[in-house]
Structure 1
Amino acid sequence: MAMSEVRWTGTGKERLNSEEVIICIDLLKLRKAKIGSRKNKQFDVSKLKDPGIREEFNITLRNHYSKLQDETAITIDQFHQFIKDAAAEVIGYKKYAKSEWLSKDTWTTIEERKQLKKKLLDAKSPILKERAAVLYRKKDREVKTSARKDRRHYTEQLAKDAQEAAERKDMKTVYQIRKKLRGDHGPNQDLPVKAEDGSAITEELAKLESWREHLENILNRPDSPILPDIDEAETDPEIETGCITVNERIIQDIWDKEDIPDDWKKGVIIKLPKKGDLGDCINWRGITLLYLTSKVFSQTILQRITAAVDDILRQEQAGFRKWKSCVDHIFSYDRYWNSRSKSL
């Protein structure tokens, strides 16, 4: 099951005046493409916002359920696989945008070069292979020439936009253009880690061990010695426990057996930068990405508890309640004292 993707941007912003803009643009270069392994494909879940696509996904998922002889015997692994199969059929995977600075003509030339490359690889005889190689090299030069032309035009246009933004004192746009050219997408995560004695740790295994110790100290804190004294409720709220759909039956089975799937016990910790020296682990905040179906389980329990508890809570309780907010109480309190002060 795909997990959510966490992104962030840098925190510092530099102020540039109109005279500095041209100097900075001349010094900047377009960022190079990162070389590395391709990320796992992710489903385009944004399509589920369309009611028609969402209904089609639900129908496809029910069709997969109908293949089972006994829907009550479905396992969590089968449940995951059915969701993946239905998502692949209906919503598909995310399509990543092409480089915005390449023109349509350049992309057409790139596609032609790709076809020539295929002919070169498929050629059997040396003569055909040599002819295909000549055509491929010619087309490759055309692609590189066209790409350099597009890059110059793209950079000149951004420099013009930055100059106009600086003249009207729109420094936010200037910073965004600078960031786009430089490729600044946030602090570098591959920084040396400071040890307790202040020395820098550069080895990968040593850095991972340092991060593990730091996160264990933060996340595995001892229990408080002082426990809250909470009286037991006189009556238990009436919480709905029935199940209708296959999803609810799976959740009910986990609740009754009190056996959590192994995948739900795992999490991926993502680091988010804070202010200060990023070589110090204390200046990073960790968040944990959990398995998606475990969130469905938690949300189902929360919704059923909320429906039963909401009628018991007093009207003055505004926090953590639907359609209510502590901000409303603060606003009412402020208006009340302002009116009292004016009357006095």
Structure 2
Amino acid sequence: MHHHKEWITVDILDKIQERRNKKAAINTSQTRSEKAKARTEYTEVNKQVKRSIRTDERKYVEDLAEKAAREGNMRQMYDITKKLSGNHRKPERLVKSKEGEVITNIEEQRNRWVEHFKELLNRPAPLNPPNIEAAPTDFPIDIGPPTIEEIRMAIRQIKSDRAAGPDNIPAEALKADVAATARILHILFNKIWDEEEVPKDWKEGLLIKILKKGDLSNCDNYRGITLLPIPGKVFNRVLLNRMRDCIDAKLRDQQAGFRKDRSCTDQIATLRIIVEQSIEWNSSLYINFID
């Protein structure tokens, strides 16, 4: 008998079963096109499962918080609030120095992470920069101040259920009343436009380390993601919406990453088919990975 977490719903279990079926379909596909189609369907269902789990878990915790508030259970309210805000800390993992020695002191561990990311992110410029032709800059892009309608659209486009930046303002707070938020941000964005200077708080972020694979104590086995203030992301989204169509027309069809209605998953499926054909026809294949 399986024991599921209390917030797991029947709909999620059905989606998980559908994901299993899609994964099985990949292995039983007879042709390359069937396999590529099955893999695309699996990827989409997998996204739906993860999205549903996040949504249902959050709703479950919020319902608990409301119940605790009605009953006046302040201890439970405090614990749930910490969980909702993400302010619960896990114990620090052991980390190794560059020489491979284990660091147990928490302050020294943090200093090691600072050292690691400084070296990783602050690489010196190459001595002999490549001679690459500069991209054109004369695009027909609106350079007037952001309008309220543009800001409304940008707020709606910001994804929910994402961690907030250093200001601790989540996307849901801005979306609670899009019209009111847009009016407030319109004043701020126009000030930024006139003074050509963004708030210094927008230049700060929370650097979170995420394990890729391998030894948990080796800093090189982690990648960092930076959590930035959501209002700054709204401003960036306004700029992106203005630039996207002009820039998109200049990009190659082969580029799928960071483009609307495209996915690297499709490119991966195409590459797998090319590899399979190369093996089937016993022909040479050269692949260049650039990061």
Which range, TM-score by smaller chain? 0.3 to 0.5
TM-score w.r.t. the length of structure 1 is: 0.38
Q: Which has the higher Rg, Structure 1 or Structure 2?
A: 1
TM-score, length-scaled by structure 2: 0.44
